[in-house]
Amino acid sequence: MSASEETVFFNVGRLRLEGRLWRASGPWATVITHPHPLYGGELDNPVVTVLAGAYQRLGYSTLRFNFRGVGASGGDYDDGRGERDDVRAAAAFLEEAGKTVIDLAGYSFGAWVNLRLDPLPAGVRRLLLVSPPLAYLEFDGVSASPSVALRVVAGDRDRFAPLDLLREQLPRWQPAGHLHILPGADHFFQGSALDRLAALVETVLAVPASQ
């Protein structure tokens, strides 16, 4: 955990969820969601922390949290249903702290959960999906609101998010969505791919969500 992040807890119904909050001075904030809970996904996942760092360097407050049943979060895995409520509760927590949530950023399972949110939390203007696992989870019939900017990042060696499926599905999710490819990276962004992912994400985020 970064020295400037604080451990926080917030409620979703009768459950209590664990998170790490970075408070920036400006109003913008992002909620960051982690990979699959049943396969070791949690808020300290290396890709999740890279996403948090990229947003923090650009002046966003960030909240990365453990889905229900993970770490110190209460409850049990709910196959993506309750996890969508977890994301809404995280956004509400930031809003209550005076932050305007304009981004939802998710990696793997977290990307799947975020894209399936309907409706999105009020104020969200951009979805950043990192390695959405089309070869593993069901993405048919989901779409992103035309009111949000959709940005997708994936490696060209990702067996869980193969580029041919991404190119096929992205226009169905949103015709205006953008795909950003990281050469030589697999689903787990091993080795130097994490540093290159950080640089690519910062480049993607430097474009305002309205564009």
The answer to whether 98 touches 21, Cβ cutoff 8 Å, is no
The answer to whether 110 touches 50, Cβ cutoff 8 Å, is no
Q: Is residue 88 predicted with pLDDT exceeding 90?
A: yes
The neighbouring-strand residues paired with 150 are: 127
Q: Please write the tens of the pLDDT for every residue from 103-112.
A: 999 999 999 9
The answer to whether 56 touches 22, Cβ cutoff 8 Å, is yes
Full-prediction pTM beyond 0.75? yes
CA distance 143 to 51: 23
Amino acid at 65: F
Fold of 6-205: Rossmann fold (3.40.50)
Backbone φ and ψ for 10, nearest 5 degrees, come out as -145, 160
Q: Please write the tens of the pLDDT for every residue from 115-163.
A: 999 999 989 999 999 999 999 999 989 999 999 999 999 999 999 999 9
Q: Please write the tens of the pLDDT for every residue from 24-38.
A: 999 999 999 999 999
